[in-house]
Amino acid sequence: MEELNERSKQILETVISSYIATAGPVGSRTITKRSNINLSPATVRNIMSDLEEMGFVSHPHTSAGRVPTDKAYRFYVDSILKRIASEGEFPLSLNTDEELKENRETMNVENIMKWTSHYLSQFSNYIGIIIAPKFSSTIFQHIEFINLRKHQILAIFVTKSGIVQHKVIKNDEDLPQDALDKITKYLNEKFQGMALQDIRMELEEMMAEEKRTYDRLVEKAYYLGRLAFLSPEEEEIYFDGTANILSQPEFFNNVDEMKRIFSTLEQKSLLLRILDKCLDSDGMQIFIGSESPVKETHGLSFITSVYKSRERVLGTLGVIGPKRMDYFQIIPLVNYTANLLSKLFTEAE
């Protein structure tokens, strides 16, 4: 990125902050009024022309003002991140720790996901989003098998952090409930406290052994455990505040853009392409407009962070909003929420 002198940086930051506040093109007179720099409107116009040539601002229609480009927002966000790195987290006047602790005992994981997406939406005035923890990334606590009907068994999993999952599995023979109870007891004693991906690997190895010396009940336990633990899992996405987009001036006057955004938000696979990419980074990731791997979201920005249990990444949360979003407030909000959720899941284990 081209080096900007201090005057150019100050003017660019003024253009960005003014556009974030008003959603309207920013002219030279606005800059001279809002900034502390002692320059004439003519000088400011010259600098803004230079910024336009460098790709930091654009000149919409016949307006005398400029608007920031994706490149300008990236400059602005990087400046914020550098300041956070040097000064520490920005303070947030949010008293939610006690609220979440008070409700933790009665909140299952689904409720925590709903609470988090609503919380992010409420304090950002944009869209709050979160991917629920992948079942395979959690610590196994308990499994139970229940006879449903002929050749069908209900498997109920509970993880140490409180995630509950149900799966109906088909069995090639009918087993009485007392046999299923013994299998349940065996698997719980053998695998309790292990990560699910490790359990899956061990079950695969056991079932692949050519010469098995297991008695029939143990062999059946491994067989049912394999069917249950190796089940494909679907990532669950929770989001709240979609209607907030309606209040953004760059969208409510553009019906086609609005339809495209709502259509994209309804396509889970597109959102997962973005949010799963965030799992690759051990912390916060920000996609601004065209930086997104999904073309359909180039009119939006994503501020995301992973949340963990100790060192294990469980999922991604964040805020989706217009490129004009208030990054100075939203970046600390997302970081704070990720840390809060990480603390919650760590303590649950």
Residue 328 included in any domain: yes
Shared domain check, 278 and 207: no
Summarize the confidence of residues 170-189 as an average pLDDT. Answer: 88
Last residue of a domain, one of 167, 198, 229: 229
CA 288 to each of CA 22, 58, 158, 256: distance values in angstroms, whole numbers, following the listed order: 19, 16, 38, 20
Burial 57-85 (b: 16+ CB within 10 A, else e): beeeeeeebbbbbbbbbbbbbebbeeebe
- Quick one: pLDDT at residue 282? 72
Shared domain check, 19 and 154: no
Summarize the confidence of residues 33-42 as an average pLDDT. Answer: 77
pLDDT band at 253 (very low <50, low <70, confident <90, very high): confident
Q: What is the pLDDT of residues 124-139, one digit of tens each?
A: 999 999 998 876 667 7
- Quick one: pLDDT at residue 166? 78
Question: Average pLDDT of the chain?
Answer: 83
pLDDT band at 316 (very low <50, low <70, confident <90, very high): very high
Shared domain check, 181 and 308: no
- Stated as kind and residue range, the H or E segment containing 52 is helix 41-53
Do 191 and 141 form a contact (C-beta atoms < 8 A)? no
Shared domain check, 120 and 240: yes
Is pLDDT above 60 for 90? no
Copy the structure tokens of residue 304.
Answer: 């995301």
Summarize the confidence of residues 165-182 as an average pLDDT. Answer: 85
Q: Which domain holds residue 223?
A: 136-229
Shared domain check, 201 and 168: yes
Is pLDDT above 60 for 91? no
- Quick one: pLDDT at residue 264? 81
- Quick one: pLDDT at residue 35? 67
The total number of structural domains in the chain stands at: 3
pLDDT band at 337 (very low <50, low <70, confident <90, very high): very high
Do 27 and 65 form a contact (C-beta atoms < 8 A)? yes
Select from 284, 334, 323, 329 the least CA-distant residue to 75.
Answer: 323
Do 126 and 325 form a contact (C-beta atoms < 8 A)? yes
Residue 78 included in any domain: no
Which residues does 282 contact at the CB level (< 8 Å), separation at least 6?
306, 313
Q: At what angle do helices 109-124 and 327-348 cross, to 10 degrees?
A: 160
Last residue of a domain, one of 207, 229, 251: 229
Is pLDDT above 80 for 114? yes
Shared domain check, 273 and 247: yes
Shared domain check, 318 and 344: yes
Helix, strand, coil abundance in the chain, percent, nearest 5: 55, 20, 30
Which pairing describes strands 164-170 and 152-159: parallel, antiparallel, or unpaired? antiparallel
Shared domain check, 123 and 22: no
CATH (domain of 176): 3.30.390.60
Shared domain check, 239 and 159: no
Residue 86 included in any domain: no
- Which is more confidently placed, 147 or 282? 147
The most confident of 26-40, 62-76, 208-222, by mean pLDDT: 62-76
The CA dihedral of 103, 106, 110, 111, to the nearest 10 degrees, is -40
Last residue of a domain, one of 33, 68, 103: 68
Predicted TM-score (pTM) of this structure? 0.77
Shared domain check, 244 and 130: yes
Q: What is the pLDDT of residues 183-239, one digit of tens each?
A: 999 999 988 888 777 887 888 777 776 555 567 778 888 888 888 776 555 678 899
DSSP state of 290: G
Copy the structure tokens of residue 121.
Answer: 């939406």
Shared domain check, 142 and 124: no
Is pLDDT above 70 for 26? yes
